[in-house]
Amino acid sequence: MNVVTTKKELIKHIHEYKTKQKSIGFVPTMGYLHEGHIKLLEEARKVNDIVVLSIFVNPLQFGPNEDFDSYPRNPKRDEELARQAGADLLFLPSVTEMYPEKPSYTVTVLSRVNVLCGKSREGHFDGVATVLTKLFNLIKPDRAYFGMKDAQQVAVVDGLIQEFHFPIELVPVATVREEDGLAKSSRNVYLSELERKQAPAIYRSLLAAKEKIAHGERDKEKIKTTISLTISKETDGMIDYVEILSYPGLEEINSICGKIIIAVAVKFTKARLIDNITIEV
Ligand code: AMP
């Protein structure tokens, strides 16, 4: 596996792959790798000649009161895990390598962002879309892999690829979970022991909602209330949102039909956890 930190070195490798007509699968991450990230690498490994992993904690997608400085980082361990997972190229840029001191251009996302995390994290998806535009242009992947754990991100990237005509296939990958159902996340390390025990209730509440829908429940508000009650009863977390929307359009729906997402965000003392399920009704 080659490890590069500059655009210049990255471009050199990409040029070589392109000259040899190798297909490129790209996995963008913020590092502190866990089995969720590894799953993306494995999926990319299956169908591409070359797998490129980027690790970049992108300041543009963090709000002023968010955890940019304290976001967990461990580049040495990440490098080892990336090697084991069969990545060919690891791109580890610094902030100054990715952004000039005063950026003159950023991407603004106008749709699919006024709900869920976009509502409470203003500018977050502009930051995501801006860094991905840069990375897509540098890496020129044939396929890009994103986890459904961040389903709104998948929806936004889907829009970005379509509207900016990136010749890239978006490959969504199912959420990887702990044995007790908690979605794997770099931020899970922030949970206290008690919160860690409580957190699987989030996924349980989503599964219970799915079950209710399977048994014919179609009242959106009733389903949302059941989810909220379960989370409030079984955890000390503060609910940020419980939403049921169309997917990937992320529009309000009056009745439960078609492809929908049930998404939840819960704030614990030091970690804000998100989870979701998508279902076709
Ligand atoms: P992050 O490093 O948190 O920005 O995540 C990088 C990529 O890994 C994103 O596409 C995430 O959706 C994906 N990812 C994070 N956690 C999981 C998980 N538990 N299962 C599947 N994909 C995940």
Residues 114 and 239 in one domain: no
* Nearest-CA residue for atom 15 of ligand 1: 36
What CA–CA distance (Å, rounded) separates 214 from 206? 12
Cα of 219 vs centre of ligand 1, distance in Å, is: 31
CATH number at residue 272: 3.30.1300.10
Residues 16 and 152 in one domain: yes
Residues 27 and 146 in one domain: yes
* Nearest-CA residue for atom 6 of ligand 1: 29
Residues 28 and 130 in one domain: yes
Site residues for ligand 1, CB cut-off 6 Å:
29-30, 36-37, 39-40, 146-147, 149-150, 173, 175-176, 183-186
Structural domain harbouring 67: 2-173
pLDDT at 201: 98
pLDDT at 255: 85
Q: Is residue 17 part of a domain?
A: yes
Cα of 20 vs centre of ligand 1, distance in Å, is: 30
Residue 92 CA to chain centroid, in angstroms?
18
Residues 127 and 227 in one domain: no
CATH number at residue 19: 3.40.50.620
Please answer whether residues 204 and 226 qualify as being in contact, where contact means their C-beta atoms are separated by less than 8 angstroms.
Answer: no
- Number of domains the chain is built from: 2
Cα of 29 vs centre of ligand 1, distance in Å, is: 7
* Nearest-CA residue for atom 10 of ligand 1: 146
Cα of 36 vs centre of ligand 1, distance in Å, is: 6
For the CA of 183, the closest atom of ligand 1 is 19
Q: Looking at residue 187, what DSSP letter applies?
A: G
**DSSP per residue over 135-186, as a string?**
HHHHH--SEEEEEGGGHHHHHHHHHHHHHTT---EEEEEPPPB-TTSPBP-G
Tens of pLDDT, residue by residue over 25-80, are 999 999 999 999 999 999 999 999 999 999 999 999 999 989 999 999 999 999 99
Residues 56 and 146 in one domain: yes
Indicate the angle between helix axes 7-19 and 124-139, nearest 10 degrees.
50
| Domain stops at, among 123, 140, 173 | 173
The one catalytic residue in 37, 124, 165, 215 is 37
pLDDT at 17: 98
| Domain stops at, among 152, 173, 194 | 173
Residues 109 and 142 in one domain: yes
- The residue among 153, 151, 103 whose CA lies nearest residue 129 is 153
Q: What is the pTM of this model?
A: 0.97
For every one of its 281 residues, what pLDDT tens digit does the chain have, with 9 covering 90 and above? 999 999 999 999 999 999 999 999 999 999 999 999 999 999 999 999 999 999 999 999 999 989 999 999 999 999 999 999 999 999 999 999 999 889 999 999 999 999 999 998 999 999 999 999 999 999 999 999 999 999 999 999 999 999 999 999 999 999 999 999 999 999 999 999 999 999 999 999 999 999 999 999 999 999 999 999 999 999 999 999 999 999 999 999 988 999 999 999 999 999 999 999 999 99
Residue 37 designated active-site:
yes
